[in-house]
Structure 1
Amino acid sequence: MFAPGQEQISKEEIKAGEIEASQTVQMVLAGGFLLYLSPFAVDFVRKFL
């Protein structure tokens, strides 16, 4: 990142990285929420059947 002679990152690459990071955070939060709800869903299905 700070090595001499290394190219600068363009604004488009920075924006693409920000979008990718945002999507990653959203996917992690959604996955965590689904994992939190999964025991309740399993209990519901067991009682329903």
Structure 2
Amino acid sequence: MFGGPPPQLSAAEIRAQEEEANLTMQKVIVGAVLLYLSPFAIDVVKKIV
């Protein structure tokens, strides 16, 4: 509309963006699991100390 369509990405650029997206999703999943397990870990540490 304002300046035409964006330039086409090369196969290498598409592959790099897909790998970055996969890595980001893995980080989000690991972070969610760690946040879910953190209260249990805190309880275990409190019982040990």
Shorter-chain TM range is: 0.7 to 0.9
Structure 1 residue ranges without an equivalent (≥5): none
Task: Tell me the TM-score normalized by structure 1.
Answer: 0.88
Structure 2 residue ranges without an equivalent (≥5): none
Which residue does the alignment assign to 2:21?
21
Q: Which string of whole-angstrom CA distances, capped at 9 and with x for unpartnered residues, describes residues 14-46 of structure 1? A: 000000000000000000000000000000000
Compute the displacement of 1:7 (Å).
1.9
Whichever residue aligns with residue 36 of structure 1, its letter is Y
Task: Tell me the TM-score normalized by structure 2.
Answer: 0.88
Q: Secondary structure at the match of 1:47?
A: helix
What RMSD in Å do the two structures reach over aligned CA positions? 1.3
Compute the displacement of 1:5 (Å).
5.5
Q: How many residues align?
A: 47
